[in-house]
């Protein structure tokens, strides 16, 4: 072995009399040796600890995930199953397939409730441009008592819906209400707002618009704080008026906040129940023509005690909200600034 090593030695060098040792591991400057199955420069204990870190994120997420499964996913699955069953008078569910959905499609009350809900949603959405304008006014640098005005606008949002309904029922009273009194001063005879089929839902929607202005203004006010003031200064130097600055700078840069408010408002509008129930009451003669989708669900499930049919209504509401939200997420890429 030593003779062969001596024969292969280059000329001018003394042949080694020892056998070659094992290869020396490559060492990078400032790092440890490259080990087997690990990243360069990391000790074996650190690599082993990194492999064991995979369970820690799940431990932190587990309480939230369990809450979502127990309080959201499981009720949805249970409601979907109930929508395929028929409940007896004294309880007990019998599988009936799609009978509840066939009955629901042929029910005119569903389309009436859907139309009322869409009308309520459209009126409440009108509050977003109003909130944009009011939030811009409250963001003016020379405005005094701006914080006080924000609190005044936000108070209806945090107030109890029942308390708000009691006040507005007095305002909407057809005999001695404040609204009809003001209309009478200009020669207009106001209707019985909460007992007239065409006016009841509009009256409720105006209350919803009024009570949601404060939340919208808070969200939009936070968006206005993120707009650089240099843009307004540059536009003013170029001769742009206040209106042109509002139209060309404020509104485009507020589109992320506006998109968020659109999604939140649509979802909350399709869940209309407490405000409608508190204003109209359960004995109102116009209620069958003025109920929302959720009130339709309440009437079927808790008044008529038809839980299978009510579950089908709940699944339809879930489907409508899901489709509406998906459409908004899809089309916001075209008009949201930076989307």
pLDDT digits (tens, 9 = 90+) for 218-271: 999 989 888 888 888 898 888 888 888 888 888 889 999 999 999 999 999 999
User: Could you tell me the pLDDT band of residue 4, with boundaries at 50, 70 and 90?
Assistant: very low
User: Could you tell me the pLDDT band of residue 109, with boundaries at 50, 70 and 90?
Assistant: very high
Q: Is residue 15 part of a domain?
A: no
Instruction: Examine the pLDDT at 171 and tell me if it is beyond 50.
Output: yes
Name all contacts of 297-301 with Cβ < 8 Å and 24+ positions apart: 298/273
Contact 201, 116 (CB under 8 A): yes
Q: Is residue 173 part of a domain?
A: yes
Phi, psi for 38 (deg, rounded to 5): -140, 175
Structural domain including 301 reads: 99-335
Q: Specify which residues 87 forms β-bridges with.
A: 93
Number of domains in the chain: 1
Q: Is residue 113 part of a domain?
A: yes
Q: Is residue 75 part of a domain?
A: no
pLDDT tens across 136-157, in order? 888 887 888 888 888 888 888 8
Q: Is residue 37 part of a domain?
A: no
- Pinpoint the alpha helices (H) of 1-43: 2-8
Q: Specify which residues 94 forms β-bridges with.
A: 86
pLDDT value of residue 209: 94
Q: Is residue 174 part of a domain?
A: yes
| Nearest of 102, 307, 290 to residue 298 by alpha carbon | 307
CATH code at position 141: 1.10.3720.10
Q: Is residue 216 part of a domain?
A: yes
| Nearest of 296, 108, 182, 298 to residue 193 by alpha carbon | 182
Query: Which stretch of 1-15, 55-69, 262-276, 317-331 has the lowest confidence by average pLDDT?
Result: 1-15
pLDDT value of residue 16: 46
């Amino acid at each position: 072995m030593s003779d062969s090593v001596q024969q292969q030695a280059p000329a001018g060098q003394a042949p080694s009399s020892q056998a070659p040792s094992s290869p020396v591991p490559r060492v990078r400057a400032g790092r440890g040796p490259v080990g087997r199955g690990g990243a360069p420069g990391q000790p074996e204990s650190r690599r082993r600890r990194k492999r064991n870190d995979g369970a820690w994120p799940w431990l932190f997420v587990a309480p939230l995930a369990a809450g979502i499964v127990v309080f959201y996913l499981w009720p949805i699955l249970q409601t979907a199953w109930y929508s395929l069953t028929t409940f007896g008078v004294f309880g007990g569910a019998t599988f009936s397939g799609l009978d509840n959905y066939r009955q629901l499609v042929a029910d005119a009350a569903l389309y009436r409730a859907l139309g009322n809900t869409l009308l309520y949603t459209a009126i409440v959405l009108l509050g977003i441009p109003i909130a944009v304008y009011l939030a811009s006014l409250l963001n003016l640098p020379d405005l005094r008592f701006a914080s006080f005005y924000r609190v005044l606008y936000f108070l209806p949002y945090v107030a109890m819906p029942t308390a708000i309904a009691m006040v507005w029922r007095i305002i909407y009273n057809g005999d001695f209400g404040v609204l009809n009194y003001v209309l009478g001063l200009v020669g207009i005879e106001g209707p019985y707002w909460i007992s007239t089929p065409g006016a009841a839902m509009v009256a409720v929607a105006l209350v919803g618009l009024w009570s949601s202005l404060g939340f919208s203004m808070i969200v939009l006010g936070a968006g206005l704080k993120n707009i650089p003031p240099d843009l307004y200064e540059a536009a003013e130097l170029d001769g742009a008026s206040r209106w042109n600055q509002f139209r060309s700078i404020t509104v485009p840069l507020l589109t992320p906040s506006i998109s968020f408010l659109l999604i939140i408002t649509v979802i909350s509008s399709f869940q209309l129940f407490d405000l409608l129930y508190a204003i109209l009451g359960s004995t109102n003669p116009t209620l069958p023509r003025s109920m929302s989708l959720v009130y339709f669900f309440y009437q079927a499930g808790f008044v008529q005690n038809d839980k299978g049919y009510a579950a089908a209504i709940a699944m339809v509401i879930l489907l409508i909200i899901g489709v509406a939200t998906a459409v908004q997420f899809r089309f916001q890429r075209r008009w949201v600034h930076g989307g």
